Amino acid sequence: MFRALYDWTLKLAGHRHADRYMAAVSFAESSFFPIPPDVMLVPMILARREQAYRIAAICTISSVLGAMLGYGIGYFLYESVGKWLLDLYHLEGKIAGLKALYDQYGAAVILIKGLTPIPFKLVTIASGIFTFNFPLFVILASITRGARFFLVAYLLKRFGEPVQRVIEERMNLIGWVVLAALIGGFAVVALI
């Protein structure tokens, strides 16, 4: 199951529009899409290690632009789109708990959650709902998403060949771990 997906993303990574596809996934993930951009970021960097930082920059910029859309959904469209999205991911009941975290640790919440498998869209929409300072939100989103994607780029550029060998040898295990992390991110949010 995971081998076919991996082979498909590696093939897609070599496509002439691969940057656009990854940018679209990164943008969407920060505001409404459930799949993290890492599913394209990693194979793209493995396929073109010499462009690792360029790929990370595209992913970061797209993610921050998507985060701005997520903020707008929370700020302007909470009653319609925002509630629907939160309900879709079974997160609407978690807003009160998140509000308490924002009141006490607002900037830290954005910085920490942007690095984890916890769905970033929750953070972006919540930031709009709670009217978190928008310029500061953009700066924090840029820092946290940039740190995450550039760290991946650095590690894959530096250790790409052995990492690629490990990925290919342990495809199913890694696939299940990534899936568990994604589900775990949603589960952690459910516990807030």
pLDDT one-digit tens code per residue, 171-189: 677 667 766 766 676 566 5
Q: Hey, what are 88's tokens?
A: 């879709």
When mean pLDDT is compared over 39-43, 91-95, 126-130, 165-169, the highest value belongs to 126-130
Q: Hey, what are 86's tokens?
A: 């939160």
At residue 8, the pLDDT reads 73
Q: What is the mean pLDDT of residues 133-143?
A: 98
CA-closest candidate to residue 53, choices 164, 158, 137: 158
Task: Tell me the pLDDT of the chain averaged across its residues.
Answer: 86
Pick 170 or 36 by higher pLDDT.
Answer: 36
- The sign of the torsion formed by the CA atoms of 50, 6, 168, 187 equals positive
- The sign of the torsion formed by the CA atoms of 75, 77, 79, 83 equals negative
At residue 182, the pLDDT reads 62
Where in the sequence is the domain holding 45, given as residue range(s)?
2-191
**Contact yes or no for 129/74 (Cβ under 8 A):** yes
CA-closest candidate to residue 111, choices 137, 131, 93, 86: 137
Least confident range from 19-28, 110-119, 174-183: namely: 174-183
DSSP H or E run through 83: helix 83-88
At residue 52, the pLDDT reads 96
Looking at the structure of the chain, the number of domains it has is 1
**Contact yes or no for 63/145 (Cβ under 8 A):** yes
Burial 12-30 (b: 16+ CB within 10 A, else e): bbeeeebbeebbbbbbbbb
Least confident range from 31-45, 120-134, 165-179: namely: 165-179
At residue 57, the pLDDT reads 98
At which residue do the structure tokens 């797209």 appear?
A: 62
At which residue do the structure tokens 């943008």 appear?
A: 27
pTM: 0.83
pLDDT one-digit tens code per residue, 81-94: 988 888 887 777 77
At residue 80, does pLDDT exceed 80? yes
Cβ neighbours of 170 (radius 10 Å): 13
At residue 23, the pLDDT reads 95
At residue 38, the pLDDT reads 85
pLDDT one-digit tens code per residue, 53-74: 999 999 999 999 999 999 999 9
